[in-house]
Each structure stands twice: as structure tokens, then as C-alpha cells.
Structure 1
Amino acid sequence: MKRVTVISIQLLLVVGCASNNDSLRTVTVCKNNYSFSNYSAFTHTIIAQGDEIQKMDAVGILNFDSMEDRDSAFKMYKESESEFNENNGIRISNEIYEDTSIVQNYEYDLELVKDESLIMRSISPNENINRGTYLSRDMMIKQIESTDFTCNTE
């Protein structure tokens, strides 16, 4: 229950930061209700104007067999944060959560990001989500749903 609360609070913060000034702006939330890989929960939030993604947020809870495994992974994830966080518009954070879990949070403000290769490496190796000058909301949703997530657009 605590995991759901953590994800819900982070999701509300992201959605709450979205501007409601433009009627063309949409918010899409994609969730899975089961464990996959080492994740017990994962949520994607996509904020777009038309088909162009403006902001994205992904929050996942990684589970490990032991505190030692968690600590080793945490160290590796923390070391990789700086490469992405040096780029305006991308913020990646990892926090220890409960005894054997890590909460990962990926935030992208695509209006500020200067190095698109970092977006592609950290979001997905699938080049089809890139429509030349912007990342496509429709293509991103198709890709996310292909991994058994359910997406709803508000």
C-alpha cells in the first residue's frame, strides 16, 4: 500500500504541474498492475500538446532479494544519475524504499532538453517514437502498451 501511495503522490505532483491553459494539452497515464522484471509497480505519465510530447515522467519500484543486492544496484544507479542530470530538462533520481526496494523516478521536460540522444537512451532504444523534430505521443503509447501496460488519456 505504501508503494501505491508513493507513486500516486509523485504522479499527482507531475500532473499538477501541467498547465491547463491549452485545451489541446493531454495527460496520458500508463500503468501496469503486476510485477515485471524486478519492478513491482511502474507508471508512465505523458503530457503532450497534440501528438508532441512536452513532458514525461516514469516512476518504478525495483525489488531485490536482499539489502546487499539493493545497495549494490543503488550505487550503480546513483553513479549514472549525473550523466543525465547534467542535461537541462532531464532529471533521474533513485531513492531507497523499504528494506529491499528502490524507487526510480525519471522526469523529462522535452521543451528544455538539448541532447536528444540522452532522451532516446534513457527512454527507449525504439527509434520509431521519434517523428523527426519531436517525440510522438501516439507512438510512445503504442510502444508502452506493447509491454502490457494500460494507458488512459484524460
Structure 2
Amino acid sequence: MKFLTVIAALFVGLAAGASSNAKCAKDITAASVDIGQATIAIVDAVTDCAPGFTSACNNDINKALAELTDATAQITAAVYECGGNTTPACADDLNGILAALTSTVANIDTAVIDCSAGNKDACQNDINAATKSVALIGVDIAKAVADC
């Protein structure tokens, strides 16, 4: 789990070197921070949801979803803000981030259903899938920092 916390910190560091387009860079930086916070919440959910759908599990999931929603809004804004300066590589990176965010949210939505139903194994599998999905976003963030 320490690995994912380090990844969360890296998102912020990577974004610090983001695009020269100030608004575009601001959007990518904001998304990086949100994704980092979502990563921390998902890591917390791994432990808090192990016994079932506890209030701590619910709080972690809600925090992760809120941060991922904010990150999606920031990346959507980046698509617009990076507009005139968007290279095909930048557009691909931003689309990759949006796809990974969508996948992560889908994993968390499924976790809510499985955790609420008391299906502990499926709940943990869903949260683990979300953990992997959110970790992969870092690759596209790093590319976007360079390409946008």
C-alpha cells in the first residue's frame, strides 16, 4: 500500500512540470492532486472494507468517488484549455486519463454494490481493481505533462 501512496505523491510532483500553457497545466495539476487523493482513499478502502460495508468503508468510497469526479472535470477542462496547443499525443494522453478514470469509477461503483450486499470477496476484488486502475493513470499523467 505504501507504493500507491508514493504514486499519489508523484502525481503532484509530475504535474509541477506540466505544460507551458498555464490553464492547461493548471487543469492537469488539479487533476493530479485529485487523483492522488482518490488513490489514498482507495488504499484506505482496501483495509476499511475488508470486514464489510462499514461506515469507514463507505466514507473511503465516497471520498474516492468525489475526488475522481473532480479529476474528471479537471481533465475535461484540460481537453478544452489545451485545445489550440493540443498535439495528437496530448489528446491521446488526456483521452487515456479519461478512460482510466471511467474504469476506476466503474470498479468503485461495482464495489459499492458488492460491499453493500455483504459479498466480501467480490468487494475486495472490486477495490483491488480500482487500485490498479487508478495507479495506471499515473502513466498517462506523466505523458500528458510532457506532451501537452
The answer to whether TM tops 0.5 is no
TM-score (norm 2): 0.29
Say which structure is richer in helix. 2
Say which structure is richer in strand. 1
TM-score (norm 1): 0.28
Higher relative contact order (CA 8 A, sep 6+): 2
